[in-house]
Amino acid sequence: MSYNLIKNITDKDKLPSYLLFYGNEEYFIDYSVKYIKCKYIDKSYEDMNYAEFEKLPGLNDYFEFADTFPFMADKKLCILKEAVFLTSTGSLDKKEEEKLINIIDENESCITIFVIKDGKPDSRKKIVKKLKDKKAVFEFSRLTEGELTKYITDEFKESGYNISMSDANYMANNSGYLEYESTVSLYHVNNEINKIMSHNNEKKNITTSDLDLLLIKSVESNIFRLIDCICENNKKKSFEILEEMLLNNTPEQFIIHMIARQYRMLYQYVLLQKKGYGYNDIINKMKIKNFVATKLSKQSKNLNMETIEYYMRRFLEIDKKIKTGEIDNRVGLELITNGIIK
């Protein structure tokens, strides 16, 4: 992972003078910038040796800062936030571009970090090519299920707490981070970790019970619970989960969309089973996480193909009634939650 690589080369004083950070895991970008700042910038001289620039119309202010020598230090540090001029949607004028290319080759007293959090660097641009040649481009991607599980385990361990890998995986899959099109970042995951540690200040072993008590359940996690209850015909629990989601301001139409998506996945899972695919083959074929596959496997035991097909037909009927105004979202959601009764 890029943040570990940044830590290693920073600790070994092998950090390039110019770096480009981009990706959809904002926490690791911010963490890496802070780590470099702690390494090179003395707080006593921060005003003279550290600068951040955001949404610059041009680079004159940056050039002025970079061209002066560090004060009572070996290095200065400058962060160019939202470096859109390195993406396909932005640009520099030719003079500024040429000057920046020359500085990248010559200036070693100022560490400069270009940051792109929304978008990707354009590999056709000269500056991006130059940084790639110097192996100074780092992508910070969202963590996989396995990486997030390890991250959670390590975070608890560093603070003196113990959590099993299975419980860390349970937390990872209930955090919302791994959800379909999730906007949950590691900032949220860290807040949850800190909350759990604060609650268990004297008890250093974190259990599933602690997680169930304190963890804010994600939408996808609640959808799995809701489908479980529908499959088991447990209407009381189904409506309790539904009320919990609505109290948390989860839009009714989004809940309907997620339940429909879950049944489509369930249909695909059962279909692949019938075709003779094994558990691991299905995971690869459907491109789903192990946690999701485990849930689908459990739910598929309570439903046959005919029942799933019936549910999906009813979904289409209910969806049509909602779209034509015959029923509203809430009524449609209650029909679905009620087990889509024949």
Summarised one tens digit per residue, pLDDT across range 91-129 is: 888 898 899 888 888 888 899 999 998 889 999 999 999
Tens digit of each residue's pLDDT (9 = 90 or more) over 203-249: 889 998 888 888 877 777 788 888 888 777 788 888 888 888 888 78
When pLDDT is cut at 50, 70 and 90, the band that residue 342 belongs to is: very low
pTM over 0.95: no
Q: Check whether residue 118 and residue 65 sit in a common domain.
A: yes
Whole-Å CA distances, 47 to 50, 52, 72, 319 = 6, 11, 12, 59
Q: Check whether residue 130 and residue 161 sit in a common domain.
A: no
Q: Are 192 and 172 in contact (CB under 8 A)?
A: no
Token pair, residue 182, equals: 């999730």
Residue holding tokens 């974190």? 206
Q: Check whether residue 109 and residue 200 sit in a common domain.
A: no
**CA–CA gap between residue 335 and residue 339 (Å, rounded):** 7
Count of domains forming the chain: 3
**CA–CA gap between residue 286 and residue 308 (Å, rounded):** 18
268 part of a folded domain: yes
**CA–CA gap between residue 66 and residue 111 (Å, rounded):** 9
181, 214, 247: which is the final residue of a domain? 214
Is pLDDT of 155 > 60? yes
- For CA atoms 148, 187, 87, 6, the dihedral sign is negative
**CA–CA gap between residue 45 and residue 116 (Å, rounded):** 27
Q: Check whether residue 14 and residue 98 sit in a common domain.
A: yes
20 part of a folded domain: yes
Q: Check whether residue 36 and residue 159 sit in a common domain.
A: no
Is pLDDT of 340 > 70? no
Q: Are 175 and 218 in contact (CB under 8 A)?
A: yes
Q: Which domain holds residue 325?
A: 219-337
Mean pLDDT of the residues in the chain: 86
Q: Check whether residue 128 and residue 244 sit in a common domain.
A: no
Tens digit of each residue's pLDDT (9 = 90 or more) over 246-278: 887 888 888 888 888 888 888 999 999 989 999
Number of H helices, E strands in the chain: 17, 7
Q: Check whether residue 9 and residue 131 sit in a common domain.
A: yes
Query: What is the three-class DSSP state of 117?
Result: coil
- Beta-carbon contacts of 93 under 8 Å, excluding residues fewer than 6 positions away, are 58
Please name the helix (run of DSSP H) or strand (run of DSSP E) that holds residue 46, with its range, or none: helix 46-49
Mean pLDDT of 166-182: 84
Token pair, residue 157, equals: 């361990």
Q: Check whether residue 228 and residue 312 sit in a common domain.
A: yes
When pLDDT is cut at 50, 70 and 90, the band that residue 341 belongs to is: very low
Percent of the chain whose predicted confidence (pLDDT) is above 90: 36
180, 199, 214: which is the final residue of a domain? 214
What CATH number is associated with residue 20? 3.40.50.300
291 part of a folded domain: yes
Residue holding tokens 């800062």? 65
Q: Check whether residue 165 and residue 36 sit in a common domain.
A: no
Q: Check whether residue 258 and residue 277 sit in a common domain.
A: yes
Q: Check whether residue 67 and residue 17 sit in a common domain.
A: yes
Q: Check whether residue 296 and residue 249 sit in a common domain.
A: yes
30 part of a folded domain: yes
139, 166, 181: which is the final residue of a domain? 139
- Beta-carbon contacts of 244 under 8 Å, excluding residues fewer than 6 positions away, are 217, 222
342 part of a folded domain: no
What CATH number is associated with residue 269? 1.20.272.10
82 part of a folded domain: yes
What CATH number is associated with residue 165? 1.10.8.60
Query: What count of other Cβ atoms lies within 10 Å of the Cβ of residue 158?
Result: 8
